[in-house]
Amino acid sequence: MEKVGLILNPHAGNQKLAEIVDTIHSKLLEAFSEVKIFKTRKAGEGAEIVKEIAEEIDLLIGAGGDGTIYEIINALCPLENRPAFAIIPGGTCNDFSRTLGMNQDPLLAVEQIINKATQKVDVGKYDDQYFLNFWGIGLISEVSKNVESENKKLLGKMSYYIHASKMIFQNERFHLKVDSKAKSFDGEAVMMVIGNGSYLGGMQTFFPGAQIQDGKLDVLIIKQTSIQHFWTWLQSQIQNKFPEDSNEDLLFFRAECLEIEASPQQRIDCDGEIKYETPSKISVLPGHLTVVVGDFPLKD
C-alpha cells in the first residue's frame, strides 16, 4: 500500500480531527508515498469522493464518526475493485473502529494504520445498503432518533443509554415476522437488532461474542414480555455481564440471510443512520472488505 486517500469530516465529534489534520498528514507520509486529504463540506460528498478516487489509491481512510463511515462504506462496498479501508475515529461512539481494535485516540490510530496490518472482514447488506456494525428496528431506532447532537457532545456514548432508560417503558410493540434458514419468528416484539460488529453505542451491548470473520450475522429479538428483563440487562452492561442465550424474553441466533416484515412499518436504524423502513432483506457478505486492524482479534 503506497497511495492513500483520506476522507475527513471536519465537523465530526468535537471537531478535534480538523485541528490535527496536518499532524495526521505528516504521520501518514512517514509510511506512504502519497497521501491526499479530502475534507467534506456536506452530506453525500464523501460518497462522491470515494467514487472518484477508489481506482487510484491502495488505501482509503475514513476520518470521522459512525455516520461518516456509513456514507463511505455505502460508496465503497458496491465497487468491484475496492482499496483497503481504515478508520480514524472522530465521533461519539466509533463502534466499528472499536471492533477492529483501533485506538480511540486519532493520532494513535494513525500509528496503527502505519503498521499496515490488514484482515478481510464481513459486511452486512440490507436491500441496496451496506453496514459494518448493526441493523435495528423498534426501541433502538427510537433512541437514535431522539438523541440530540448536543447531548452526544456533552454526554458522549452514555447519552444513548440515558435515552434508552427513558424510553424503554413507553416504547410500543409491533408485530414482527422473521424468516431465515437458521430460525424463524412470528410474534410481538419491542426491538430487533442484527449485528456484524460487537459494539453498539460505544459498548459491547448486545453481541460481545460477535465475529466479523465468521460469515454470519448475530440476531437478537426482544419480545414484549422482556421490557423489565431488558432494563436489567441494559444496566448489567456497565458491569460487563453479557447474557447471550435465548430465553422466554429474548430470542438469539445467528444467520446468513433473513427476510423481515413488521406491522406497523418500522424505521430502520443502520449504523446509527435512519433512512428507510421495513420490510427488508438482510444478508452477510463474507470477507467482502479488506480493513486495517489494530489490536485484533480483540482480547477479553
Residue 250 host element (H or E): strand 250-255
Task: Give the three-class secondary structure for 148.
Answer: coil
> Where along the chain do its domains lie?
3-116, 131-285
CA pair distance 56, 74, nearest whole angstrom:
18
3-state SS, residue 144: helix
Residues labelled as active-site residues: 273
Q: Identify the band that residue 154 occupies on the pLDDT scale cut at 50, 70 and 90.
A: very low
Of 261, 239, 295, nearest to 112 (Cα)? 295
pLDDT digits (tens, 9 = 90+) for 24-45: 999 999 999 999 999 999 989 9
Q: For residue 131, which of 59, 215, 197, 200 has the smallest C-alpha distance?
A: 197
Quick one: pLDDT at residue 168? 56
Q: For residue 150, what pLDDT is reported? A: 44
Give the architecture-level CATH label for domain 3-116. Answer: 3-Layer(aba) Sandwich (3.40)
**What three-state secondary structure class fits 40?**
coil
Bond into 106 cis (ω within 30): no
Q: Which CATH fold would you assign to the domain 131-285?
A: Tumour Suppressor Smad4 (2.60.200)
Q: Which residue has the higher pLDDT, 106 or 244?
A: 106
Beta-bridged to residue 131, according to DSSP, are 124
Look up residue 90 and give its three cell numbers: 472522530
Which is higher by pLDDT, 133 or 148?
133
DSSP three-state, residue 97 = helix
Crossing angle for the helix pair 158-167 and 139-146, to the nearest 10 degrees: 120
Question: Amino acid identity of 281?
Answer: K
* C-alpha cell belonging to residue 254: 445467528
Q: What is the pLDDT of residue 155?
A: 43
Site of grid cell 464523501: 46
Distance CA 159, CA 150 (A): 10
Q: Which residues, other chains included, contact 65 with Cβ-Cβ below 8 Å and sequence gap of 6+?
A: 9, 12, 13, 89, 90, 91, 92, 93, 94
65-69 average pLDDT score: 91
pLDDT digits (tens, 9 = 90+) for 160-176: 554 555 555 566 789 99
Tell me the average pLDDT across 198-204: 76
- Whole-model pTM: value is 0.87
Across 126-134, average pLDDT: 95
